[in-house]
Structure 1
Amino acid sequence: MILITGGAGYIGSHVNKALNKTGYETIVLDNLVKGFQDFVKWGTFIEGDYGDKELLDEIFETYDIDAVMHFGAYISVSESVKYPEVYMKNNYENTLTLIQSMEEHNIDKLIFSSTAAVYGTPEIIPIKETSPLEPINPYGKSKLLVEEALKKQDKIKYVIFRYFNACGDDPDCEIGELHEPETHLIPLILDAALGRRSSISIFGDDYPTPDGTCIRDYIHVNDIAQAHIEGLKYLEDGNESNVFNIGNGKGFSVKEIVDVVKKVTGVDFPVNIEGRRPGDPAELIADSSKIQEVLGWSPEYAKIEDIIETAWNWHKKLNSD
């Protein structure tokens, strides 16, 4: 049985579905601050906080938990700049509580959701797992502190996945991306295509990139989910702890994403240029050769048009409900 913290959120709910389809039993622990109970369509749901030591102890004593997948972090870079202490408390200190409870109950396998933000502003693109870890925002710092804590202990075998830009949605439209407020680029642009917002803003067009806007590596959430299943099997086979990037290995600028959304949706909408946001590196593209070689993983959704089409279908459904 797998405990999924934050399993009512975007990535956690997709991983929960994938695990259950693969034959695993799951327990979803989520405080519903960022998640949605309606997204827990598989497994057993427990409402609560992964920083609640008594609740964690009760779960580990009640259920036969083989491994933990941890998705309970707050994820907004801009919000972390405004409220760094909130991000340190939830993302770092609460995760230390989770690790402590796992150790006390001899739960020895953890898959941790980290982020490309731990690399800060990398000098070499694409980014390897061995690149310097120099986060430039509190969100990235909170994730790096957890990585460092995991590397200092020896009771739990772990796989750390450094996500690049998670995007796309369940092709069945049973679950999908929903944040309140929404901060991710593709859903925001799709809101403009749906008429839910009057325009879309691009924050900075003076970066050292070909069109002046930030470049990111976009990876479909189902490909992330499949990587987690491969990572779990890797730990179940008795392998040593490891760290992997998850990305498509190619980047698209903000302007390019806007153009693809217009192409996929067939809708035009105004685009405004505003000033840069603090904490945004110019370019983040993954070198994903390690995860492909070690775990045998490769992305199913390699085309950005296909990724955005799954997101468009989900957001149209949301808009019509």
Structure 2
Amino acid sequence: MADHVLVTGGAGYIGAHACKALKRAGFVPVAFDNLSTGWEGAVKFGPLARGDLMDRASIDAALAEWKPVAVMHFAALSLVGESMSDPGRYWRVNVGGALNLIEACVAAGVGQFVFSSTCATYGDQDGVVLNEDTPQRPINAYGASKLAIEQMLGNFGASHGLQSVIFRYFNVAGADPEGEVGERHEPETHLIPLMLDAIEGKRAALTLHGTDYATRDGTCLRDYVHVTDLADAHVRGLRWLQGGKGGRVFCLGTGTGYSVREVIDHARVVTNRAVPVVEGPRRAGDAAALVCGSARARDELGWTPERGLEAMIRDAWRWSQGGGF
């Protein structure tokens, strides 16, 4: 009988892709989700356990019913701008929800935990390739809440033996190449789907949030990683824990940064369409440049991202043309 893995946020963008990767690897992914931002139509690879991380009883019930060998934790509030204007909500939901989940895992004897963290824990450190040894100095409540959860996992590892793999990753993009799941948020805040919406006329134009950054063309520079590659890394992280190798932190990215204007240029090539653009002010909490060093993931997990930026745009474009869920 296949082992179950509880995937919090399994009805969301990255969680659903992780569920597909888990199923392909021989696990039964159980999507634990309150569907506040996720989509029931994205739960295609295993059962859905309706629940909320702020409701400890619902977590306990899911762990008792499905008896997972591990948890993958994706569920979180993740809007940088909102975290700047309403930090209390991010501390309450992200940190409080994670604490409920971690304590429930300890109580249920679930000893393996894969955590979706973020490069936002590093803050604004321009001109530096960010890796696992880079000091963490978050500049917004979103990044600070994720860092707090990383520290919490360290505490529970020391006191209760909870083993965790922590992934700090960069801008996730693209869609499942087979078209079963893709990216959909309401409201949408991610560059590539916003850009494709503008191309299709679903919005008037793509807004450039700041054009005066100290980058090669004045727009923010980011490292983009394909969601399917990212999901593969999470399965590798679970295998790492199952192999008894202990807790570890890994950064996930391609090592190549693209500016917003460069992403737009690639989209024109992929779609053969113009991208309507307007210039706007900077957003609070945005770093100028975030680029990842993934040598540890390559050397220790055997993980190498296989899909570049144009593949990310092409898969996302195909998904958007197909109508979504």
Q: TM-score, normalised by structure 1?
A: 0.97
**How many Å apart are 1:124 and its aligned residue?**
4.7
Taking the aligned partners of 2:315 and 2:11, their CA distance within structure 1 comes to 19
Runs of 5+ consecutive residues of structure 2 not aligned to the other structure? none
Quote the offset at 1:123 in angstroms: 4.7
Report the counterpart of residue 261 of structure 1 in structure 2.
267
- Please provide the CA RMSD for this pair: 1.1
Q: Secondary structure at the match of 1:285?
A: strand
Letter in 1 for 2:266: V
How far the C-alpha of 1:187 sits from its partner, in A, is: 0.3
The code of the aligned residue for 1:248 comes to T
CA distance in 2, matches of 1:318, 1:78: 28
- How far residue 75 of structure 1 moved from its aligned partner, in angstroms, is 1.1
Q: Aligned residues: percent identity?
A: 43
Task: Flag as ranges the 4+ runs of structure 1 deviating above 6 A.
Answer: none
C-alpha displacement of 1:102: 0.6
The amino acid across from 1:260 in the alignment is: H
1:296 paired residue number: 302
Q: 1:124 to 1:258 in 2, by over 3 A?
A: closer
Q: Secondary structure at the match of 1:318?
A: coil
Q: Deviations over 1:84-119 (max 9, x none)?
A: 111111111110010001111111000000000000
Q: Residues of 2 paired with 1:292 and 1:76: CA distance?
A: 29
Question: 2:318 matched to 1:318?
Answer: no
Residues 148 and 124 (structure 1 numbering): CA distance in 2 closer, same or farther, change over 3 Å? farther
2:125 is aligned to: 122
What residue number does 1:146 align with?
149
The counterpart of 1:236, out of the listed 229, 233, 242, is 242
1:1-321 equivalent positions in 2, closer than 5 A? 1-154=4-157, 155-301=161-307, 303-318=308-323
Answer whether contact 2:51 2:59 (CA < 8 A) is retained. Answer: no
Whole-Å Cα distance in 2 between the matches of residues 249 and 298 of structure 1?
11
Task: Give, in angstroms, the shift of residue 270 of structure 1.
Answer: 2.3
**CA offsets 1:42-98 (integer angstroms, 9 cap, x no match):** 111111102221111122222221000001011111121122111111111110010
Shifted more, 262-271 versus 140-149: the winner is 262-271
Rounded Cα–Cα distance in structure 1 between residues aligned with 2:71 and 2:190: 26
Q: Give, in whole Å, the separation in 2 of the partners of 1:74 and 1:167.
A: 18
SS at match of 2:137: coil
Matches of 2:275 and 2:149, distance apart in 1: 41
Q: Is the 8 A contact 1:122 1:131 kept in 2?
A: no
Q: For residue 135 of structure 2, give the secondary structure of its aligned residue in structure 1.
A: coil
Confirm or deny: 8 A CA contact 2:49 2:62 kept in the other structure.
no
Worse-superposed segment, 79-88 or 64-73: 79-88
Deviations 1:205-224 (A, max 9, x none): 11110101100000000001
Pick which of 167-176 and 50-59 moved more: 50-59
Q: Which moved more, 1:150-159 or 1:292-301?
A: 150-159
Q: The residue matched to 2:129 in structure 1 has which SS? A: coil
For 2:278, what is the secondary structure of its paired residue?
Answer: strand
Distance of 1:35 and 1:61 partners within structure 2: 23
In structure 1, list runs of 5 or more residues that go unmatched. Answer: none
Please state whether the residue corresponding to 1:197 is helix, strand or coil: coil
The residue type paired with residue 257 of structure 1 is V
**Partners of 2:199 and 2:276 within 8 A in 1:** no
Asked whether the 8 Å contact 1:194–1:316 carries over to 2, the reply is no
